[in-house]
Amino acid sequence: MAGENTVRLRPPNNRLNERAVNWWRTQVLLTAAVPALVLAVLGAFIEPARTWLLVPAGVIAVLGLACTAFFPAWWYRVHRWEVTDEAVYVRTGALWQEWRIAPMSRIQTVDTVRGPLEQAFRLATVTVTTASAKGAVRIEGLDHQVAADLAEDLTRITRATPGDAT
């Protein structure tokens, strides 16, 4: 029987920042472009293997463009997050969805990270580390100011929450 203080799995309310779509597109495009470019350059210079190098380069380029056009918009539609006084809720994944709850009493650290691409898109990632064997809960694709405010709010809430975070 569930107690009054039970934290339940539920759909989080907040979307990521819209700039996350272009951030993901850039990541997917770079992931496909680098091997396609390497294969194309090698194919241009190695006559006996030209076909064996240029065909995969073209396939990778076409698949990369298709993924760039489709997946980031889909990811934006399914990724959600929310913070309450009781827990951090995160839902990620397009095909295999993962729903995570980090109760405030279990939070050990809160980190904000901004990689080079995230900085270019004025985004940040908040990582909430708990005592869970599953690992940290990450909220990617947040506006950098929202991420800073969220880290500050989480620090304030966890400080006021009883528990040992272990």
Within a domain: 13: no
Phi-psi region at 92: left, alpha or beta (left = phi > 0; alpha = psi -120 to 50): beta
- Indicate the number of domains in the chain: 2
63 and 27 share a domain?
yes
Q: Which residue has the tokens 């990811």?
A: 75
CB-count exposure of residue 141 (10 Å: 0-12, 13-18, 19+): buried
58 and 100 share a domain?
no
pTM: 0.84
CATH number of domain containing 142: 2.30.29.210
pLDDT in tens, 112-156: 999 999 999 999 999 999 888 788 999 999 999 999 999 999 999
Cα–Cα distance for residue pair 159/114, rounded to 1 Å: 24
Within a domain: 7: no
pLDDT in tens, 5-49: 566 666 799 999 999 999 999 999 999 999 999 999 999 999 999
Domain interval for residue 59: 20-75
